[in-house]
Amino acid sequence: MQDTELHTPADPQVKCVVWDLDDTLWDGTLLEGDDVSVPDANRKLIRTLDEHGILQSVASRNEPGAVAERLRALGLDEYFLYPQVGWSAKSASLRAVTRELNISADSVLFVDDSEFERAEVAGALPRVRCMTRQELHALVAAGGVLPAQVTDDARHRRAMYLAEGRRRSHEVAFDGPAEAFLRSLDMTLRVREASTADLARAAELTQRTHQLNTTGITFDEDELSSLVRDPGHRVLVAELDDRFGTYGTIGLAVVDTGPTDPAGAPRAGAAPRWTIRLLLMSCRVMGRNVGSALIAAVTRLADAHGAGTVALFRPTERNRQMLVTYRFAGFTVESRSDDLVVLSLSGERRPAVPGYVRLVADDTPAAPRGTTQELTA
């Protein structure tokens, strides 16, 4: 197996900026009757963050109705997801935002002119980075916020979260068990070989996804491009759609198909096995149980090539759910060394696809380009 460089940026990638309003997003104090206005630099930054796939919200001590009306009048209301307006502590507002967006605190920037409010949030949520708006502008200018490349998924990230809000409303109104709700979504998971156009998003997934991630390895575009060209590897991306629209590219599997064992030693005379070096799913699909469908797709593709399947797992503080997913799929522990767990699937086991997911896999290396195998439960 090829060695892979582990990238560890000094600060986690920014996924959301949460703005205070008075004297921060806008100049003036709404409750004091000021004719508040948004500086052009803030307007430009709001649009720039949105275009780069960085989500935004609001945490403000204000009257909710007055804030909603003013944001609409300013033409900015559409940019802010799950705004928190009221009289609770700002830390409570930040907790609500991270919960609704299903992101970690260390991926959030909190912007407030008040030293007291920043200190309150920093004390209660030390992983949230707190700053003034001037510091935010400086951080963006220094390259510390925006991703180096903007993927198509990033451009539509806010719209995808809004669609998720409609899904949640449907779930609240749905009268029936959880599996019946999932079936009502009419989900289709498409698994296919990554193309050059997919590499920026695939790299972004490795850098943004931590909870539903089996090994925590990150790849940049050049590394993924090299793996795509390597006949001993498969780089697979997964796209999910349902009745409410697309989730975009939400899954990735990097698979070693070469004639070596997980430690890199030759398998002399041994039956061929594919090794899943990395498998991850976006946290946006947590609760959909589509990770098991991606595992099923990889194992069935391996089986179509006469190979068994091995999976690598590196435990972290946050990814235990992925080990559980592997175990429910029928994988058992084959060996442990340091922090690496090697899991294998016995020849007679075939991971099931949830009945509420239609799984379609495109096995391009084994068939003429464009040939599609539909894999059903």
User: Residue 280 maps to which CATH number?
Assistant: 3.40.630.30
Q: Which DSSP letter does residue 302 get?
A: H
For range 225-246, the mean pLDDT: 95
What was the pLDDT predicted at 264? 55
Q: pTM for this one?
A: 0.69
By CB neighbour count within 10 A (0-12 exposed, 13-18 middle, 19+ buried), where does 12 fall?
middle
Asked which of 141, 163, 198 is the last residue of a domain, the reply is: 141
Q: Which of 81, 79, 84 lies closest to 101 in space, CA to CA? A: 81
Confidence tier at 263 by pLDDT (50, 70, 90):
low
Q: Are residues 355 and 254 in the same domain?
A: yes
Contact status, residue 260 vs residue 338, Cβ threshold 8 Å: no
The domain boundary, picked from 118, 141, 164, lies at 141
356 & 275 share domain = yes
Residues 32-81: pLDDT tens digits? 999 999 999 999 999 999 999 999 999 999 999 999 999 999 999 999 99
**C-beta separation of 360 from 191 below 8 A:** yes
What average pLDDT score do residues 125-134 get? 97
Domain range for 131: 16-141
pLDDT of 266 strictly over 60: no
Q: How far is CA 131 from CA 45, 96, 177, in A?
A: 15, 19, 44
Pair (98, 232) in one structural domain: no
Beta strands in 87-230 (DSSP E): 108-111, 129-131, 187-193
Q: Determine what percent of the chain is predicted with pLDDT higher than 70.
A: 90
The H or E element that residue 173 is part of is helix 157-173
pLDDT of residue 4: 32
Residue 255: partners with Cβ closer than 8 Å, 6 or more residues away? 233, 234, 235, 236, 274, 275, 276, 277, 298, 302
Residue 201 and residue 290 in one domain: yes
Q: Residue 171 domain-assigned?
A: no
Residue 7 lies in a domain: no
pLDDT of res. 367: 39
Statement to judge: residues 245 and 309 lie in one domain: yes
Residue 165 belongs to some domain of the structure: no
Q: Which of 141, 163, 193 is the last residue of a domain?
A: 141
Spell out where 95-211 has E strands.
108-111, 129-131, 187-193
Residue 207 pLDDT exceeds 90:
no
E strands, 69-144, are 84-86, 108-111, 129-131
Tell me whether residue 110 is in a domain. yes
**Average pLDDT, stretch 106-113?**
97
> Count of domains in the chain?
2
Beta-strand ranges (E) seen in 169-300 are: 187-193, 233-242, 245-256, 273-281
Of 252, 264, 260, 346, the closest CA to residue 290 belongs to: 252
- Start-to-end C-alpha separation, the chain: 32
